[in-house]
Amino acid sequence: DAGVTQSPTHLIKTRGQQVTLRCSPISGHKSVSWYQQVLGQGPQFIFQYYEKEERGRGNFPDRFSARQFPNYSSELNVNALLLGDSALYLCASSLRDGLTPLFFGPGTRLTVL
Amino acid sequence: GQQVMQIPQYQHVQEGEDFTTYCNSSTTLSNIQWYKQRPGGHPVFLIQLVKSGEVKKQKRLTFQFGEAKKNSSLHITATQTTDVGTYFCAGEGGSEKLVFGKGTKLTVNP
């Protein structure tokens, strides 16, 4: 079975631009979570979606938004990019909501210049 | 909000030595998970602990969950070069989603 896939792999944007990151979960997994990992730090929770509904939101500004589609894939959007948004954005899927391990994708490396 | 702290931040060992990383939460957890991230890679799930005082083993790795469900440890016996990477604990509790510690970066000298 294929693991979690993310696109694009790398992205370079300039301040003020907008970006959309995409994620496809493992087949059969209905929950998708997004994490931001700054170099040298642990992943920080951004959003969780389960069955297309938002189940959790981390301490991120409203410039960050996400959605989950009927096929359980997901998009993360970030508007008005700042230099501090440069990070590895990780998508993780899990079978269901709560008390389940996360299976991470390879991530999208975003660089904001 | 919930905080998860890990020590040490870095650990360098000679191949064959043991390694331990410790994780402490500011709140009681419903479960704790451990992940390993190789250099340039993404976090990979290792194990989940749910019960108070639980101990689980995976070959040379031993995971413990504290009696109060606020702390955990990962111990690796006789490290190998393949153990290199950053080990993260991640705790889930209350209304908080999975909160990751900052990780312990392990390097192994062959």
* pLDDT tens digits along A42-95: 999 999 999 999 998 999 999 999 999 999 999 999 999 999 999 999 999 998
Tell me the chain B residues in contact with residue A91 when contact means C-beta distances shorter than 8 Å.
Answer: none
pLDDT band at A96 (very low <50, low <70, confident <90, very high): confident
pLDDT number for residue B110: 93
Euclidean distance between CA atoms B94 and B106, whole angstroms: 31
Tell me the chain A residues in contact with residue B56 when contact means C-beta distances shorter than 8 Å.
Answer: none
How much helix, strand and coil, in percent to the nearest 5, is found in chain A? 5, 50, 45
In this predicted model, what pLDDT tens digit does every residue of B36-91 receive, in sequence order? Answer: 999 999 999 999 999 999 999 999 999 999 999 999 999 999 999 999 999 999 99
CA atoms within 13 A on the CB side of A10: 3
- pLDDT > 60? residue A99: no
CB contact under 8 Å between B45 and A41, yes or no, is no
Helix (H, G, I), strand (E, B) or coil at B16: coil
Taking CA atoms, what residue in B is nearest to A91? B42
Interface of A with B in 13-52 (CB under 8 A): 33, 35, 40-45, 48
Euclidean distance between CA atoms B64 and B55, whole angstroms: 5
The conformation of residue A5, written as its DSSP 8-state character, comes to E
Total CB pairs under 8 A between chain A and B: 55
CB contact under 8 Å between A59 and B1, yes or no, is yes
Do residues B98 and B92 lie in contact, with contact meaning Cβ atoms separated by under 8 Å?
yes
Euclidean distance between CA atoms B100 and A56, whole angstroms: 15
Q: Is A71 exposed, middle or buried (0-12, 13-18, 19+ CB in 10 A)?
A: exposed
Nearest to A64 by CA among A94, A44, A50: A44
pLDDT number for residue B70: 96
Interface of B with A in 24-53 (CB under 8 A): 30-31, 33, 35, 41-45, 48, 50
Q: What is the DSSP string of B72-108?
A: EEEEESS--GGG-EEEEEEEEETTEEEEE---EEEEE
